Structures are given as C-alpha cells and as structure tokens.
Structure 1
Amino acid sequence: MWDMTKHGNEDVPYEARTSEELGRYLVAARDLAPGDLVLTERPLVFGPKSQPNPEAAVPCVGCYKLVTADAGERCSRCGWPVCSGHCPGLTNSRHHGVECHILSVRPECVLDNIADYYRYDALLPLRCMLLQIVDPEKWKKLSDMQSHMECRLPGSEAYDEANEFIVEYLMNNFINKLENNVKKKYFPDISAELVHKMCGIIDTNALEIRVPDGVELLALFTNTCIMEHSCIPNTKHTFTQFAKDKNDLYRITVKVVVPVEKGNHITTMYSHALWGTQARRQHLKDTKYFACRCLRCSDPTEFGTYLSAMKCLGDGNQVCDGIHLPEDPLDDETDWACNKCSIKVNNSQVNMIITQMGEEVENVQMIGISVTMLENLLCRLSTFLHPNHYHLYSIKHSLIQLYGRQPNYMSEEILDKKIKMCKDLIAITKILDPGNSRLSLYNAVLQHELHSALLCKAKKVKCDGSMETVGKIKYLMIEAKSAIEIALDSLKDDIEETSGKKLFKVIVNSKKDFEKFCKENKGYF
C-alpha cells in the first residue's frame, strides 16, 4: 500500500508505504542524490527534556534559556522559573501560554527540592494533551502516532517510570485540582490512561533538539516520525533555531546524504552510531520496541570495522591471536566464536565483560581526563578488545585531543602516534557514517586534530636537530590543508547547533593560523 503526497504542484520525493513488519515507512519516489531535500515540516508540539542538574540551572518555560533555579524570576501566575516576566514565550500558545492556566492551580513557589517540584519532562505530555483545544487538527495527527502501549503495560519499567514521574505528577498536582468546567474547557478528553498514551507517543516518536545555550528539547513531527531506522542512515536532519517567522522555530529539514535509488527505503537513525551492535539493538528494543535487522546489525564485522569484536585469549594452554565475533548478531543468545580456533564464549559472558569495561571508560572520562589514566585504560582493555572496538574508539578519541597539546606530549614519536590514531579513527568513522549524518562532530574533531598534528610535525625540529626536508614539509602541509577543509565541511549542517557552532569557530581560527603560516613560508607551497 502506498500513496504519493503532493507539495504545491510538485510531487514530493518520497512515497509513504505500509507493511505488517515495518508499519508506515518511506521510499524514494525517484533517484535521490546527496543534498536533495526529502521533507521539511514544523513540529506538532515541543517541550524541554528532564534536566541533568535542576538544582543548579533550569530552562525558562517560555524560551528555554537557562536560568538560575533558586534565585531567578518566576512566572507571575504559575510560579515556574522564567528568564524574565516579559519573555514572549510566556503568552505564546506554542510555548507556555496555555499550560500556564493549568500549572497555576499550584501557584506557590519553592526553593528546595526543585527537581521534584518542577518536573520539566511533564511539560511535553501536558502540551500534547492541550493540543485538543490549541489545535484540534494537530491533536488528531498526534493521536494517530504509534504509542506501543501494548509493550508499556502496568508493571513494565516504562509504564511504572512514566506513572511515577509524569502521570501521577500531572494528575495529582494539577489536572485533578481543576474545577470540572475548567477541566472540560482545556481537556475534552482526559484520564491517566491518556497521559500514559502521550508518554508512549513521545518515547516512540520524539526527536531531540539542542537549543543554542545547550538545553535539550523533544519535538514531535507528523511525517518525519514515519521514517524507518537504519544503523547506516541515508539522510540527515537539522532544525531551524532562528526564524523570521516564529512558527518556523524548530522546523525540521531532512536531506539525503548518500545516493538513494528509486524504490529504496529512506532511513534515519534512532540510536548511536558508535555503539556496538548489541548495545544499539538493545537500546532500540527498550525505547522504540523493535529489533533492528539492518545490514550493519546483520554483519558480525559491522562492515569490516570490527567495532564490537573481542580478542581470543586461547584455551589457557595455547595462545591464539584470533578474534571473537557473534555467530548470529541478530540472536540475543548467540555464542561468540573465534575465527582461528574452536573456542566459543556465550553471550552473557561477553555482555558482562563489555558492560564492566564501558563503566570503566565512563568513569575515567567523568572524573577528569588525563593522558596517563587514558593510556593505562587503553593498554589494559586492548588485551581483550579488537583495536577498533567502540570502547577503545572512545578512549582514543579523547587521547588525540590531548596528544600534541600538552608540554609532555609534544615529541615526534607522540605526534606520529597521534597522526596514526586519527587516521585509524577517521577510517572507521567514514565506514560507519559515509554520509556524515550522525558523526559529523566526531569527524570534524578527528580531522582538526589530524591537521594540528601534521602542522606541528612540519614545524618541529627532529630528534637529531635537523628539520624535515622541504619535500616532506610540503607533503605534510598539503595533507594538513586537506584535513582542515574536510573538518569545516563536516560541520556545514551543524553550525546552528551549540556544539557545532563552537567547534566551527575553533576550526576557522585554526585555518586562519594555518593560512598565515603558509603565507610566511611561501617556499613550502
């Protein structure tokens, strides 16, 4: 089953189809090339995510600018933190304008237990339900979205968590306190079950938007949510952060990043491209309620990157230099078999080891990164993991940002090590994200650090006191020029987003310094 949608007088570049296995999905209506627009649409509704440290700072409910939680201004009607009593979003129905009437039934302000008192993750479900009166047409589109309530039954983790932190919070503190006539005015249909359904729709369909000061929002889109997941997506989406027409705020634009032939599926990604297959598939099962069977998940080697592979340690009597891969990566209980000997390891053992290692990597990166700690961890984990394993990728990505930038790590040997590490990670990144759709910031950092190391090597006096030959310096400079240009190109779609904007500025300054150096040393170019 399919239908062709029209946009003005032009056919859009996709067809919407339906199957029992995939539900609704999109295919290319014609051959599509990188850069081709797939769709663009305004969000049905959006709202802030739960805040990582609400005791320190929270977003204004009108514009999402971070404000001091305990000392900032409050909305004069409902008491929620705001940037200013004059914030335009406080009266805008797409932001705080309507929900304020509901939240104001509990007008008192508090300075303690802010995280429990102001639950920002409850605002989006509330805004969803308020669409019944704000925009009935949007409400109908929202209600038709997949909620997977059959997987979110009482007793399930998703149901119980939503019930404790969102459903009971909204019902007990606000909705049940409304006068009956007021309740009917704002909520023609309202119940705990309906709030649960909204939570299910959000969990299944919402996309994350990072606004300029770093706050994360969740937004729901009518057509974008139909797009099928793939761990090697062929599209990239961006959001409008600044718009002349305020209704275009957070508009999504989806573009093709690799060629898509007519009839092929148009895909996006709902997981992390740098997680191994089992981690990605488990995340998708837990959050999107499906088991991914894409080409990457089906390949034990993940397209030859070996991102999940482990080293074989032999049988205790004889050393083996083989690697362990899952016999069937789509089977959660699969054994992991060595490619050189008969040793097998069961999946539960692998999961336990990888989880423990992941916690170690996370802990080291959280407590303050140092070269020594990262190198020690890299050395220890390298005993068990393939050099390309995603845990080692994470450690190396941190290391390359320290090598060549700290006084004790500027030697020729360190620079050569950094250059090789950068090139190895770039090769993995290019395979996993050929269209630069998900790992653009990672790639930009890698290319920028490669540029930095090559330039530093070109300037450096060698161990024997001599300089590199003119020919070698010219070669290093050409390679450095290419790397910095690739780094900037990687960020062309990320400049409106906070992290992308900051990184772009850093790389632009590096390019200026590089061009100045080239000008002063014309003989090398």
Structure 2
Amino acid sequence: MKIKAECFYCGNPATASCTTCGLVSFCSEPSHKALHYGHKKDETSFCFPFAVKRNSQLGRHLVATRDIKALEVILEESPLVIGPYISSNNQCLECFKTLDTSPHSCISCNYPFCSQECSQGPWHKIECSAFQKYGHKRDENDNDFYSIITTLRLLSLQESKPEFWNTIMKDMLDHNSDIQEYTPEKWTSYEETVVKKIQSLTKGNADTDTLTRLIGVIDTNGADLNLPHDGKHGKGTGLYLIYSNLNHSCVCNTKTINFQDRRIEMRASVNISKGEQICNQYVRPNKCTLARRTTIKNKWYFDCCCKRCADPTECGSYLGALLCSSCKSVVLPINPLETESNWACKGCSKEYDVEYVMGVLISVGESLEEATPYDPNSYEKILYDTQDLLHPNHYLRIEAELKVAALIGNIPTSSFSKGMPRPAVERKRQCCFHILEVLSLVDPGFNQWRVQILSELTKTKLYLVNLDFNAGLADKVEVFKILQEQQVFQYYLAYNQSIFSRQSK
C-alpha cells in the first residue's frame, strides 16, 4: 500500500498507512495512530473519516477523507481534562453538583465535594497530588479556589501525557493578545486569580508564560460539559484534542452529542463530500447575523465571514430582516460583514443606522423575556405588535412562534386531551410549518429542534383529521394517510432518540 506523504493528524512525514481504510497515514508517534480509530459496542474498531489539515486562512481544521452519510459517526473523543469555570463557585470539583452547607471534604487537601466517592475521583486526584507535593491544604475560609483547578489539571499533562502536552503548547489556538487588547480587565483577573495563585502554590515552579498559555487554550478551546439544567449543578468545561480543531460555520454539517461521562460523539447532520471541511456551530443557528457575529466576536475574538454571514438574506431565511417604516418593504444590512453598516430598504432605499436595528432587537427581546411563560396569547400579542416592524421570518418572531407551537395543546387551558377549538389547532399547525420552512434553510439535516417540531405537527395533524372524520369531512383513506405519516414519524423519532437521547447516560 502506498504511504501518503504526511500524518493525518500532525502533518509530519508518515511511516505507515491505515491497513483498514487506506485513506490516511501515520507518523511514528503511536498516540496519533490511535486517534484514527473508534470502537463499537462489540469492541471492534472502525476508522474515523477525517484528517486534520492546515493552511494560513483556516488554520488547523478537519476535512472529510471520504464521502460521509448523514448521521454517520465522524468522531468519538474523551476529554484531556475537565474542570470548573474559572469563575465557578460552590460546586463539587468532580461531578459539578452544587454543594450544600455541609460538604464532604477531601481528607488529604480539605477541598469540598458532594460525597466521599467524588473526593476520591480520578479528576481530583490530579490536583490533590499537586497539593500534597507542595504541602498545601485548603483553609476552611478559602472559597476562592475554583479558578486554579482546570489550569492545574491541564498543567499536569506535561508529565502524565507529554505527547499531548507538546501538541497543546505548539498547535492549540489561544486569543491572549485579543483578551489583553479588548478585555484587559479579564486578563488582569486571570493574572490575579490563576497565575499568581498557582505560582504561590507551586512555590514558583510554574512560569507565567506557560500558565497564561494554558489559560488562553482553555478559554478559546474549552467545550461546555453536558450537565443537568436542574438547578443542582454548576458549570464545567472540557478540553478535547481533536474536537478543538473544528472550525465554526453558521450553517454547519455536524451535530455533537455530549454524554454525562464527558465523552463527545460528533455525527454528520447532512451528507458531507470527500474533501469538504467538517464544521460545527459555536452559537445557536436561530439567531440573526448581527446577534451571532456579536457573540462570536465577544467570546472567540474573530469575525465570522461564513456564507450565511456574508449573505444579507441569511441563505434566503430573512431571519434578521426588518420592515421599512415608510413602505413596509424588506430592510437588510448593506454590508452584513461590517458591524456598523447601515441598513437599507429594498423598496424605497431608505437607510437605517445600526443603532436603530439594535434598539429594535433589544426592545422585542425584552418583550419576549417579559411575556407570560405559559400563555400562548402573550406571545401572539408580540407577533401582532411586530407584524409591521419585523419580517415574518425574523428570528424573534420565530422564537415567539416556537412558544405558541409548544404551548397550544400542551397546557391545562389548551389541551388536546380535553378538546380544543379548531382555530387554535390550525394556528399550531401553521406555526409548525412556518418554523420548519425557515429554520431548515439555516440548520438543515438531523437536529433536535426538527424532531420537536415534527412531534408537535404530527399530534396536530392527527387531531385535525379526527375532527374532520367525526364531522364527516374526511374519509377513512385520509385518516389512514395521516396514521401512516404518524407511524413513519414514530420510526424516525425512535431512530433519532436511539442516537441523541444517549446524552443523558
């Protein structure tokens, strides 16, 4: 078998090729070869269909080594480290549960945990050994210690996994210069709460450059852990060696499953062609370009210039479009890649400055937050009030329609089981169809929101056809057709749940 010129992961000269797929080659570093293989439930291995590439425009990124079908596994990975956010407090260092007033303390270092089991967990052992090495034991009154934990765990890789440590220090991106320039107060906080504290703890054995580099790596590449949103857990982040190479696109081609054992599994959400870049999303796709680019710039310090951001219509979705106050035609940004760009009416050419647009977003956004949570009429009022202000497809109107679609038929005052007036059910169906039509343009393929909307739509269609049949307006053929649709959806739902519901395990 012909050996390809470079290692699929690091780009160094290759010494061998994969004998299973023949699509990638490896260098002499054994750990790099291991990154190419996943393992099925029967423990047999399979080849991941990607390679890490590099260029000046995209940096390190993933490309498909062959055609990949929708829902096919692209990557499975466990974290190099996990830990609490730098700004975390009052949570278990192992499982991230919120601590009560009488937490269990580690007998070696006196750090608090939710249980004795967690105090002996594998992640805590990392920093606990460092604490013992330097004779450190937490003072009972010291509650400002979470800031150093994740950095300490990452620092330990220098000795425990030197092959990955070298990759982190050499290749992983950080935005330290941007943090210093744009958010100097954040940088100062890192120096005070992380760098100086670790240097004091290690008696100067950890140098400033290394620590700030690690902080930047975590800040830039850390992925949120899948923790229950039950009010009983804090927040945590994880660093994944390969996953950190994924670039962002506002119309991506993957979906990631985050397991509670901290593993991740990335699958194709649509068909991906050989040689195509494999991307994920850093922000929710159902936001407008102005909101998405602002979030990305503030958190990841780059200006997204993907095809959706560069298109004033956002792939024909008009999720950010307003309506002209003069002629009611569509108002779009003149240059969507310029944050301060004016907006212009496509009908009368009237221009609006970005401050006006932001004011509209803030005002309507506040109305959504203040709406009565379980009252569909509260959201219908927002839709009525904004019909001459926002494009019908605007993301804030879509958010209101999502609420209407979810509430009708599923609350005590509007329940399928108790019987509902036909106009309300028709309205639910109308919202479902509209949401599917718009969001499919910017988030195509398999995803959780589609399953939720299809579930509501299926219930609605079945309810309506039963009404029509009982009223003599539908025959058995029409009923059978809807029942067949429901059966197909149940198969689709079961298959989807077999993949995505594993997040909770």
TM-score by length of 1: 0.78
Matched, 1:130 2:149: no
Counterpart of 1:350 in structure 2 is: 357
Counterpart of 1:255 in structure 2 is: 267
1:454–1:476 CA contact under 8 A, matched in 2: yes
Alpha-carbon distance, 1:238 to partner: 2.5
Q: Deviations over 1:413-466 (max 9, x none)?
A: 000000110111122232222122xxx23222211211222233344489xx83
SS at match of 1:40: strand
1:238–1:252 CA contact under 8 A, matched in 2: yes
Closer, same or farther: CA 363–76 of 1 in aligned 2, 3 Å: farther
Closer, same or farther: CA 95–213 of 1 in aligned 2, 3 Å: farther
Counterpart Cα distance in 2 of 1:7 and 1:61: 41
Give me the identity figure in percent.
Answer: 25
Counterpart of 2:378 in structure 1 is: 373
Q: Deviations over 1:192-229 (max 9, x none)?
A: x5433322212211122204676543111222222221
Matched, 1:75 2:92: no
2:148–2:197 CA contact under 8 A, matched in 1: no
2:67–2:271 CA contact under 8 A, matched in 1: yes
Matched, 1:176 2:194: no
Closer, same or farther: CA 497–31 of 1 in aligned 2, 3 Å: closer
Q: Which runs of 5+ in 2 are unaligned?
A: 10-15, 25-48, 415-419
Alpha-carbon distance, 1:101 to partner: 4.1
| One-letter identity of the residue aligned with 2:216 | G
Counterpart of 2:502 in structure 1 is: 496
SS at match of 1:32: coil
Q: Deviations over 1:394-424 (max 9, x none)?
A: 1111121211233543211000000110111
Alpha-carbon distance, 1:67 to partner: 4.2
Counterpart of 2:40 in structure 1 is: none
1:454–1:477 CA contact under 8 A, matched in 2: no
Alpha-carbon distance, 1:173 to partner: 5.0
Counterpart Cα distance in 2 of 1:265 and 1:351: 33
Alpha-carbon distance, 1:162 to partner: 4.7
Q: Deviations over 1:284-326 (max 9, x none)?
A: 2222222212111122111221111111121xxxxx2311111
| One-letter identity of the residue aligned with 2:402 | H
Counterpart Cα distance in 1 of 2:408 and 2:133: 54
SS at match of 2:165: helix
Closer, same or farther: CA 162–467 of 1 in aligned 2, 3 Å: farther
| One-letter identity of the residue aligned with 1:372 | N
Matched, 1:141 2:167: yes
Closer, same or farther: CA 259–328 of 1 in aligned 2, 3 Å: same
Which structure 2 residues correspond to residues 61-72 of structure 1 after superposition, within 5 A?
A: 61-64=93-96, 66-72=97-103
2:253–2:272 CA contact under 8 A, matched in 1: yes
Counterpart of 1:419 in structure 2 is: 429
Matched, 1:198 2:214: yes
Closer, same or farther: CA 434–490 of 1 in aligned 2, 3 Å: farther
| One-letter identity of the residue aligned with 1:326 | P
- Which of these residues, 169, 175, 186, is aligned with residue 161 of structure 1? 186
Counterpart Cα distance in 2 of 1:107 and 1:2: 48
- Which of these residues, 329, 334, 348, is aligned with residue 322 of structure 1? 329
Closer, same or farther: CA 389–99 of 1 in aligned 2, 3 Å: farther
SS at match of 2:500: coil
Closer, same or farther: CA 99–219 of 1 in aligned 2, 3 Å: farther
Counterpart Cα distance in 1 of 2:455 and 2:147: 36
SS at match of 2:464: helix
Counterpart Cα distance in 1 of 2:146 and 2:385: 41
SS at match of 1:4: coil
- Which of these residues, 435, 456, 460, is aligned with residue 453 of structure 1? 460
Counterpart Cα distance in 2 of 1:460 and 1:109: 66
2:226–2:259 CA contact under 8 A, matched in 1: no
Closer, same or farther: CA 7–387 of 1 in aligned 2, 3 Å: farther
Counterpart Cα distance in 2 of 1:288 and 1:22: 15
| One-letter identity of the residue aligned with 1:430 | S
Q: Deviations over 1:230-271 (max 9, x none)?
A: 1111122334545xxxxxxx3333333322222222212212
SS at match of 1:337: strand
- Which of these residues, 203, 223, 226, is aligned with residue 207 of structure 1? 223
Closer, same or farther: CA 38–479 of 1 in aligned 2, 3 Å: closer
CA RMSD of aligned residues (A): 3.1
Counterpart of 1:4 in structure 2 is: 8
TM-score by length of 2: 0.81
1:451–1:481 CA contact under 8 A, matched in 2: no
Counterpart Cα distance in 2 of 1:267 and 1:360: 34
Counterpart of 2:62 in structure 1 is: 26
Matched, 1:428 2:452: no
Counterpart of 1:513 in structure 2 is: none
Counterpart of 1:286 in structure 2 is: 298
Counterpart of 1:298 in structure 2 is: 310
Q: Deviations over 1:70-93 (max 9, x none)?
A: 233233333433221133753556
2:104–2:115 CA contact under 8 A, matched in 1: yes
Counterpart Cα distance in 1 of 2:493 and 2:357: 36
Alpha-carbon distance, 1:30 to partner: 2.8
Closer, same or farther: CA 8–421 of 1 in aligned 2, 3 Å: same
2:179–2:187 CA contact under 8 A, matched in 1: no
Counterpart Cα distance in 1 of 2:161 and 2:313: 48
| One-letter identity of the residue aligned with 2:240 | F
Counterpart of 1:506 in structure 2 is: none
1:61–1:90 CA contact under 8 A, matched in 2: no
Q: Which runs of 5+ in 1 are unaligned?
A: 111-115, 243-249, 315-319, 502-525
Counterpart Cα distance in 1 of 2:431 and 2:86: 36
- Which of these residues, 282, 286, 301, is aligned with residue 270 of structure 1? 282
| One-letter identity of the residue aligned with 2:393 | N
1:2–1:15 CA contact under 8 A, matched in 2: no
Q: Deviations over 1:322-342 (max 9, x none)?
A: 111112211222222222222
Counterpart of 1:44 in structure 2 is: 80
Which structure 2 residues correspond to residues 465-504 of structure 1 after superposition, within 5 A?
A: 466=471, 468-471=473-476, 472-498=478-504
Counterpart of 1:398 in structure 2 is: 403
| One-letter identity of the residue aligned with 1:34 | A
Counterpart Cα distance in 2 of 1:382 and 1:194: 54
Counterpart of 1:232 in structure 2 is: 251
Closer, same or farther: CA 373–77 of 1 in aligned 2, 3 Å: farther
Counterpart Cα distance in 2 of 1:198 and 1:461: 64
Closer, same or farther: CA 397–428 of 1 in aligned 2, 3 Å: same
